[in-house]
Amino acid sequence: MSKNTHSFQAEVAQLLHLVTHSLYSNKEIFLRELISNASDACDKLRFEALDNAALYEDAPNLEVRVAFDKKARTLSITDNGIGLSQQEAIDHLGTIAKSGTREFMSRLSGDQKADAQLIGQFGVGFYSGFIVADRIVVESRRAGLPADQGVRWSSTGTGDFEVETITREKRGTSVILHLREDAEEFLNGWKLKQVISKYSDHISLPILMEKEEWKEGEDDKGGEMVATGEWEPVNKASALWTRAKKDVTEEQYVEFYKSISHDYEAPLAWSHNRVEGSTEYTQLLYIPAKAPMDLWNRDHKGGLKLYVKRVFIMDEAEALLPSYLRFVKGVIDSADLPLNVSRELLQESRDVKAIREGSTKRVLSMLEDLAKKATAAAPAAAPETPAADGVTDVVDKKEAEPAASDADAAKASEDAGKYAKFYAEFGSVLKEGLGEDFANRDRIAKLLRFASTTSDAATVSLADYKARMKDGQEAIYYITADTLAAAKNSPQLEVFKKKGIEVLLMTDRVDEWALSYLTEFDGTPLQSVAKGAVDLGKLQDETEKKAAEEAAEAFKPVLEKLKASLKDKAEDVRVTTRLVDSPACLVVQEHGMSTQLARMLKQAGQKAPEVKPVLEVNAEHPLVKKLERDEAHFDDLANILFDQALLAEGGLPEDPAAYVRRVNALLV
């Protein structure tokens, strides 16, 4: 192949521009990214070589070499991993294959600081080389291909890249950075070692650099460091999760997280354990502080890497955790699984089942721990009972001690905010667990937080709610709506407000579905206030009940007429005591699908059963009383009553024009 020029995928060109302009303040991360790619390439080789040892050729020791050339102003990162074929170089170094790329691009604002944060979350990988280089040359040969099928890829990071065939004896990849003038600091052995030990110490392969010695200059001209030709490792070269906890600093845990997740922010919590017993494995699990772009997609792969006896097997091993914990990042290293385990085999393995259960429990305990810290910081709230699952020994666990200094106080308040932060990012995903993980449903339920009629923020746990229930209250009441405002102002809440009964306000898209799996909490049923007839049980006194029955009796003839008038729209019409200020509201039958969920399904283009709601009217309301007197407009009034009830809960009348006509007729 002669030299060919290719254009970058449009997104890459855009990203490159941003990388060079936004990540400037944190230049050195390019080295972490390139070393991490080099290490991944070695992992891939080791994995492919399980079936084909010939791929090792004559170099079975996998390693990464970092070298610089002061005169040529180049810095190179060389690995003897899997390498790239010509086509792979074109495909992988010219496009971004990651899911969520488009979504990511659309969120960029043009504000460099904000965008730099976003890019950090997205992970720029290879392209980060352009932060420090104005030209990058990649020379590579894929393991197993003949020497004359090497490839040289080069680009100045603007719109195009060039690809040509070269002969390369050694398999693997060299990334050669032609450094910009202002990146000269990386032409220094000491500086490079410092950056490598900061970001890449956990890499399990040796990262080698040439040993340097001080050489005096001639004629008193001052000396300089010169390379000796001898290579020495500059990292510890033991995978971080294989080390004892006491040998790993907090900073190293954070850096390791950043390198496997490409996240900018530190994680909220982590847990590192060696599990022994019938299934042996090491787990290092992290709870991120920020949700990735495509978390909502249920096809979003899990964030766990699977190793077997320290050999990398696969990324995104979704079988290791249930889907509702897909936000968790980390590593599982199993001592029992066969090295050639495939995704399909994983699904069926009993060891994997044990790992999955153990890791699920571990994540839930981490979350309980965070939640407990939040509660400890807010003494007014009801204390959370920690789940007794026998799982202890969480690395980041610190007993809540009285803050001894300002620093401790700051740490305590930071810890206290972590659960709220977690919940804002991942609460909706966690809720999916109610429907997915029956064995842990109670633990998940304890972790849920909602807004309520006493708190706009999602801070109320079901346990808090229970602790505040009124004497005689027999259910946990909730309402689902599209928005907090719609939930708060819903007519269905009126009687609850009047009686001072707290109602949970649920506005998450998954609430209705998820809550259908949670019929009770700690022995108390959950009851939607928009479903079925309102039964306040002991909260309503005898006189109230009697008055309501009498009103319903007196209203019967009007009710019959209303039913006839609205027979196409309403399943039934009845008198209610749940309304105080509003004339009417809609409810669905006890086990029916809420009108809100039906609407959502329709919007999503899915089939939803036709739900005819029940219209409940407030016999005391002047508009309803008017029905008794105004024979001429009865039909119009009845329809307006129904349509307004629909509007109040965020719906739209079936025939909006007819609704407007009817209202106007009454207005003039």
Q: Which residues bind ligand ATP (CB under 6 A)?
A: 37-38, 41, 79, 81-84, 92-93, 123, 125-127, 173, 262
Q: What are the E-state strand segments in 536-668?
A: 572-575, 584-587, 614-617
Q: How far is CA 503 from CA 337, 452, 487, 493, 590, in A?
A: 49, 6, 10, 8, 18
Least Å distance, CB 123 to ligand ATP, is 4
Is the CB of 81 or the CB of 613 nearer to ligand ATP?
Answer: 81
Least Å distance, CB 93 to ligand ATP, is 6
Least Å distance, CB 205 to ligand ATP, is 12
Is the CB of 123 or the CB of 592 nearer to ligand ATP?
Answer: 123
Least Å distance, CB 567 to ligand ATP, is 59
The answer on whether 126 is annotated among ligand-binding residues is: yes
The answer on whether 223 is annotated among ligand-binding residues is: no
The answer to whether residues 367 and 442 touch, using CB atoms and an 8 Å cutoff, is no
The answer on whether 631 is annotated among ligand-binding residues is: no
The answer on whether 440 is annotated among ligand-binding residues is: no
173 DSSP β-pair partners: 79, 140
The answer on whether 123 is annotated among ligand-binding residues is: yes
CA diameter of the chain: 116
Least Å distance, CB 91 to ligand ATP, is 8
Is the CB of 127 or the CB of 478 nearer to ligand ATP?
Answer: 127
The answer on whether 350 is annotated among ligand-binding residues is: no
Over the Cα atoms of the chain, what is R_g? 32
Least Å distance, CB 89 to ligand ATP, is 8
The answer on whether 433 is annotated among ligand-binding residues is: no
588 DSSP β-pair partners: 531
Is the CB of 301 or the CB of 574 nearer to ligand ATP?
Answer: 301
Residue nearest to ligand ATP (CB): 125
Least Å distance, CB 124 to ligand ATP, is 7
Q: Which amino acid is at 372?
A: K
What sign for the dihedral angle of Cα 255, 256, 259, 264?
A: negative
Q: What span, in angstroms and rounded, lies between the C-alpha atoms of 222 and 200?
A: 33
Closest CA to 637 of 566, 538, 536: 566
> 344: helix, coil or strand?
helix
The answer to whether residues 31 and 188 touch, using CB atoms and an 8 Å cutoff, is no
Least Å distance, CB 126 to ligand ATP, is 4
Is the CB of 47 or the CB of 126 nearer to ligand ATP?
Answer: 126
The answer on whether 141 is annotated among ligand-binding residues is: no
Residues whose CB falls within 8 Å of the CB of residue 345, separated by 6 or more in sequence, listed in order: 338
The answer on whether 193 is annotated among ligand-binding residues is: no
Is the CB of 125 or the CB of 330 nearer to ligand ATP?
Answer: 125
Least Å distance, CB 125 to ligand ATP, is 2
DSSP 136-188: EEEEEE-TTS-GGGEEEEEE-SSSEEEEEEE--SS-EEEEEEEE-GGGGGGS-
Residues whose CB falls within 8 Å of the CB of residue 38, separated by 6 or more in sequence, listed in order: 64, 77, 78, 79, 81, 173, 175
The answer on whether 100 is annotated among ligand-binding residues is: yes
Q: How far is CA 121 from CA 46, 417, 448, 620, in A?
A: 29, 21, 26, 57
Q: What span, in angstroms and rounded, lies between the C-alpha atoms of 325 and 531?
A: 31
Is the CB of 83 or the CB of 592 nearer to ligand ATP?
Answer: 83
Look up residue 437 and give its two tokens: 């993980």
Is the CB of 123 or the CB of 433 nearer to ligand ATP?
Answer: 123
Is the CB of 137 or the CB of 395 nearer to ligand ATP?
Answer: 137
Least Å distance, CB 454 to ligand ATP, is 43
Is the CB of 37 or the CB of 279 nearer to ligand ATP?
Answer: 37
The answer on whether 124 is annotated among ligand-binding residues is: yes
Residues whose CB falls within 8 Å of the CB of residue 188, separated by 6 or more in sequence, listed in order: 68
The answer on whether 98 is annotated among ligand-binding residues is: yes
Binding-site residue numbers for ATP are 33, 37, 79, 98-100, 121-126, 173, 343
Binding-site residue numbers are 33, 37, 79, 98-100, 121-126, 173, 343
